[in-house]
Amino acid sequence: MPQLAFALIALITVGSALGLILKRNAIHGALFLVVNLGSVAALYLTLGAEFLAAAQVIVYAGAIMVLFVFAIMVLIPGKEETGPDPRRPWRLLALPAGGLLLVLVLAVVLGTRGPTPVGSPAPGGVEAIGRLLFGDYLFPFELTSVLLLAAMVGVLLLARRRAS
Amino acid sequence: MVPESYYLALSATLFSIGVVGVIIRRNPLVIFMSIELMLNAANLAFVAFGHRLGSNDGQALVFFVMAVAAAEVAVGLAIIVAIFRLRRRLSVDDLSLMRW
């Protein structure tokens, strides 16, 4: 039964990822990406990472995708990619390159044994993550807030209209 | 029980799809979304490894990746909007000013 659930979610994940890069309309791509992020959250659930699944839905599928959809609506793209592409043969080289990358990474992932698995799973739950974030990872956690502040100031500067 | 290598293979597949998307698309917004796809693939690998090693460190790292991705998206979209204001068009082929 877990195998069946994994196969189903993996199918949805890969299919929505392909939809993102194959659909011409950017807004369709954004909706495919929402499906993709949601199915990755489901995969987190199957791995026992409940906190991350919730954070994924709230931060990625909620906040970040709203930003994307907002930008797409404001910029009204979609016309750019309808014209003929002068560099089409070069762009199509990405397909064999991507296939080669996939084969190489799969050979590494499936060909090596990797770290020896530990029998017992970690004591999961939000409490363990919180203790980790505010204990061992306290300094990076505080740096994250500085990073977000810097991003906010930078965005304000970029979005300002030049007073001419 | 699903072995973790399945999750890693799925993560590799998603990452490759993201790489192909970055190269073949001309709309910077779609390129950005493909980058998000690659970040998610890496996050999935983190969680799968954390599960295999019986440790929560992978999940903490994914938390930081999410925060950095949020900051990156905000700055990147602001840059794209600024470019659109300047040029009234939105195609990466036009942005060749700094090309060697």
**CATH 1.10.287.3510 fits domain B4-91:** yes
A62 touches chain B (CB under 8 A): no
- ipTM of this model? 0.90
To the nearest whole angstrom, how far is the Cα of A83 from the nearest Cα of chain B? 11
CATH of the domain at A6: 1.20.120.1200
Res. B11: pLDDT tops 60: yes
Low-confidence ranges of chain A (pLDDT < 70): 76-84, 114-115, 117-124, 162-164
Strand, coil or helix: A65: helix
The count of structural domains within chain A is: 2
A75 and A133 assigned to the same domain: no
Inside any domain, residue A115: no
Question: What's the domain range around A5?
Answer: 1-80
**Per-residue DSSP letters for A119-136?**
SSPP--SHHHHHHHHTTT
pLDDT of B93 over the 80 cut:
no
- Which chain A residue is nearest to residue B62, measuring alpha carbons? A52
Is A102 inside any structural domain? no
State the pLDDT at residue A72.
Answer: 87
Provide the pLDDT confidence category of residue B13 given band limits of 50, 70 and 90.
very high
Give pLDDT, residue A119. Answer: 64
Q: Are A110 and B30 in contact (CB under 8 A)?
A: no
User: Tell me: the pLDDT tens digits for B33-71?
Assistant: 999 999 999 999 999 988 888 888 889 999 999 999 999
Residues sharing a CB contact under 8 Å with residue A24, sequence separation 6 or more, in sequence order: A78, A81, A82
Q: Do B78 and A52 touch (CB under 8 A)?
A: no
* Contact present, A37 and A61 (Cβ < 8 Å): yes
Q: Which residues 115-154 of A have a C-beta within 8 angstroms of B?
A: 115, 117-124, 128-129, 132-133, 136-137, 140-141, 144, 147-148, 150-152, 154
What is the number of alpha carbons within 13 Å of residue A121 lying toward its C-beta?
15
Higher pLDDT, A127 or B95: A127
Structural domain includes residue A103: no
Residue A20, in any domain of the structure: yes
Among left, alpha and beta (phi > 0; psi -120 to 50; other), residue A77 is beta
